[in-house]
Every structure is written in C-alpha cells, then in structure tokens.
Homo-oligomer: A and B are copies of this chain.
C-alpha cells in the first residue's frame, strides 16, 4: 500500500542521522523532537528507537559523525607546493571560509550550548578536532622554520596562534547571529589580515616587515 522501498540497515541508519543532523543543528538539542525526526525520515518512532535507544544516543552519534567530517575539513593542510607561504595562505582561506559557513557555525553553536549538559561533546570537539588539527599544523610550521621563512619558535604554540588569528571579528558576529551571509570581500579581507598578522608575529625579519605594512 505504501510502496516503501526496503533499504539496508546501514542506509536507513544513515538516513536517520542525516535528518537528525539537520534537526539538531537547526533547533538545538532540547527543541529538536524525535517524533519530528521520525516523520521526516518517513518511518515511525518505533523504527527510530530500534536504531537509536534514546535521543541522547542519536544526538551523540550525530555529533561524533559531524565532528569527524567537519574537523577533517577544517584542519586540513594541503601541501600543494613547495612554497610554505602558499600553503599557509591556502590554509587560512580554507579555514576562515569554513569557520564562517552555516554548517560550522551551527555546529559550533551546538557544541558551545550543549557542552554544559554534555561535557563529552566539548571534549570530543577538542580532542578529535582542535588538538588533532594543531598537531597536523605543527608539520607546516616546522617546514616554514626550516625554510627560514618563519622565526624559530615552538611550532605547537605557533600553530595555536595561527588558528586564533583566523577566528576574528566576523566569527564573533556569526556566533551572535548578526551576519547571516558574509560578503566574500569581507572574507578575503579577513584572510589577508590573519595571514599578515601571523607573518608579522612569526615571519622572519623580512616577511614581518612586509606584513607589518598591513597595520597602519
């Protein structure tokens, strides 16, 4: 009667998580409803609870998956050439664009909001995202230092600071839901500013002097 095509368990699970992801990201944990999710999946609540024993479990599954994919995007370092400056700029571009995107924004909001009730979430974001990302970037920093483009310093701290510089003014405005769409020109400006600030702090004397012309 209802020509429902039977699909494999994994696919159904994926479909549930996809819908749940949208609901949780848009509504937050409390306001998202299991009945709503079941309805949008097209199945029934009974089936939903057959796959995930509780709302909490579904939420955690979604957050873990999203954490893995997003963080993998966020902290990717494309070593696309020999020039460390190019790699650095490419990283800033990717990172800043993503940080200001709807998806990362929404996810970040959820993590911050729910990390009080569910501390595991904040720890996951830190351990599997941020920390791992910085570890990856250490290699990039070392390359720059070995090439003489960056000052000799603790590469871990340097990586940490690059990320810090990338999350700027626009990020705050997005967190407060003031900017819904960020004009590309502003993103470009933010990228240039973050790169320049980083080079002014960690670049060799020559690069730092050049970068400092950005500030004044």
- Spell out A's residues near B (CB within 8 Å): 28, 30-31, 109, 111-113, 115-117, 119, 122-123, 125-126, 130, 150-153, 158, 160-161, 164, 167-169, 172-173, 175-178, 197, 200-202, 208, 212, 215-216
Contact = CB atoms under 8 A, between A and B. Distances in A.
A197 B125 CA distance: 27
Task: Tell me which of A111, A116, A167 has the highest count of chain B C-beta atoms within 10 A of its own C-beta.
Answer: A116
A125 B176 contact: yes
B178 A216 contact: no
A116 B197 contact: no
11 contacts: A116-B177, A122-B178, A125-B176, A150-B216, A152-B216, A167-B167, A200-B200, A200-B201, A202-B215, A202-B216, A208-B212
Nearest to A116: B177
Given A30-B30, A109-B112, A113-B113, A119 B177 contact: yes
